[in-house]
Amino acid sequence: MSEFVVDEPHHPKPVVESTPATEESVESRLLGNSVAPVQRKSRAWFVWVVLALIATAGAALIARGVRTQRKAQAVHAAALASLPPPSVAALGSIVPGQAVIHLNAPASSGEARLQTLTVQQNDIVAKNQIIGTLDSIERLQAAVAVASSQVKQKQAALDRVLAGNSAFQIGAQQATVEKLRADATRQEADYKRYKSLHDQGIVSDSDFESRLDTYNQAEQSLQESQQTYKQVQEVRPVDIEVAKADLLHAEASLYSAQADVEQGYIRAPQAGRILHIYTFPGEKIGDQGVLDMAATDKIFVEAEVYETDLAKVHDGQAANITGVALTSPLHGRVVLIEQSIGRQQIVNTDPAANTDARVAIVRVRLDPQSQSVAEKFVNLQVKVEFSPQ
């Protein structure tokens, strides 16, 4: 019998790729277990050396960066120290040395109207200069004229009393006395003759009494004339006192009228410049008054400095002033720092600005050249920059 060999079907074996772990395991199996720990230990040391080098390099870089930063900060601080300190700026206004005077009509003038005005805006006026009159001035001046004539009249009466009567008046009175004395002598002779005849029964009682009455009247007239003659020859003290009292009363009336006429004038209370006119001739004087004036011989700038900046401002500090109406900056120095803090009055046009800040008034006195320019711009809003020192 022949043997039949049956071939088994051929199945290819899968190929397995070797990996490092497989290779390591194979190498370990080939070399033995003593080689694997040495290799692992050398790899760990290598990692630690690399990490140490990285840490050292990083620390060196950090230290270098710190030194560089500190050096830069020192350079920046030195640069800041070499710069001038920042200046302080504030809003302000040009003001006269004294307050602005709002000139009005006298209170006793009532609803007066302005009759004349002798000044214009920007005119310079002297103290007590008449700059206008009211419509009541003519009536008041007439009262002064009447009172003045009364004074003259009373003065003349006093002079007449002090001088006494003239020689003509005394002579005329003396002649009257002599005439009445002669008449009284004649009447006395008739009276005596009729009395003798009456005693003898020759004349009646009625004729005798008639002659007696005539004689008595002649004697009385003589006595009165003699008394008048005595008076015209002397000046009585009582007459002098009465005349003096009349004169004093007339003078008092004149003083009163002169005081009243001043109510019709508008005078400048001080020397200064006319800043603004509110009322013109023919107009009724309103609440604003007639005009504004101020003494412009000394001009200042008042700045509103924030309370946080006050420590940077001191007496004598230089200041530069600029404004929209000024063609060149003005210059001055601080002369006053008010000790009270108040609310800001000058409003900044910047909508983002603080309009409710707390400020103090700092007054700057302008130099002569700047003052000659600033006196034409009273109340002008300006910007004040205080120079750092």
Same-domain pairing of 307 and 325: yes
Same-domain pairing of 301 and 344: yes
| pTM of the entire predicted model | 0.52
Final residue of a domain: which of 28, 54, 81? 81
Give the confidence band of 204 by pLDDT, cuts at 50, 70, 90: confident
Residue of 234, 251, 240, 230 lying closest to 159 (CA atoms): 240
Same-domain pairing of 67 and 96: no
Q: 285 in a domain, yes or no?
A: no
- Tell me if 279 sits within 8 A of 86, measured CB to CB: no
**How many angstroms separate the CA atoms of 29 and 53, rounded?**
36
Q: What is the pLDDT of residues 267-293, one digit of tens each?
A: 999 998 898 999 999 999 888 899 999
**How many angstroms separate the CA atoms of 17 and 28, rounded?**
18
Our CA angle for 374, 376, 381, nearest 5°, is: 60
Same-domain pairing of 28 and 94: no
Q: What is the pLDDT of residues 159-184, one digit of tens each?
A: 877 776 556 666 676 788 788 888 88
Pair of tokens at residue 70 = 């500190």
Q: 175 in a domain, yes or no?
A: no
Residue 313 region by backbone torsions, left for phi larger than 0, else alpha for psi between -120 and 50, else beta: beta
Q: What is the pLDDT of residues 297-353, one digit of tens each?
A: 888 999 999 999 999 999 999 999 999 999 999 999 999 999 889 888 887 665 555
Buried b (16+ CB within 10 A) or exposed e, 245-272: ebbeebbebbeebeebbebbbbebeeeb
Final residue of a domain: which of 32, 47, 81? 81
Q: 116 in a domain, yes or no?
A: no
Same-domain pairing of 29 and 92: no
Predicted confidence at residue 232, as pLDDT, reads 67
Beta-bridge partner residues of 93? 302, 381
Give the confidence band of 57 by pLDDT, cuts at 50, 70, 90: confident
**How many angstroms separate the CA atoms of 327 and 321, rounded?**
11
Same-domain pairing of 68 and 93: no
Q: Domain of 307?
A: 88-100+295-386
Q: What is the pLDDT of residues 93-104, one digit of tens each?
A: 999 888 788 988
Same-domain pairing of 92 and 77: no
Same-domain pairing of 29 and 94: no
Residue of 330, 332, 336 lying closest to 305 (CA atoms): 336
Our CA angle for 164, 169, 170, nearest 5°, is: 80
Where is pLDDT greater, at 266 or 81? 266
CA distances, 172 to each of 125, 218, 236 (Å): 64, 19, 20
Final residue of a domain: which of 81, 113, 130? 81
Pair of tokens at residue 49 = 């050396």
Element (H, E) at 382: strand 381-386
Predicted confidence at residue 125, as pLDDT, reads 93
Q: What is the pLDDT of residues 103-151, one digit of tens each?
A: 888 777 667 889 999 999 989 999 999 999 999 899 999 999 999 999 9
Q: Which amino acid is at 261?
A: V
Q: What is the CATH number of the domain that holds 319?
A: 2.40.30.170
Beta-strand relationship, 330-337 and 358-366: antiparallel
Total domains present in the chain: 2
Q: 229 in a domain, yes or no?
A: no
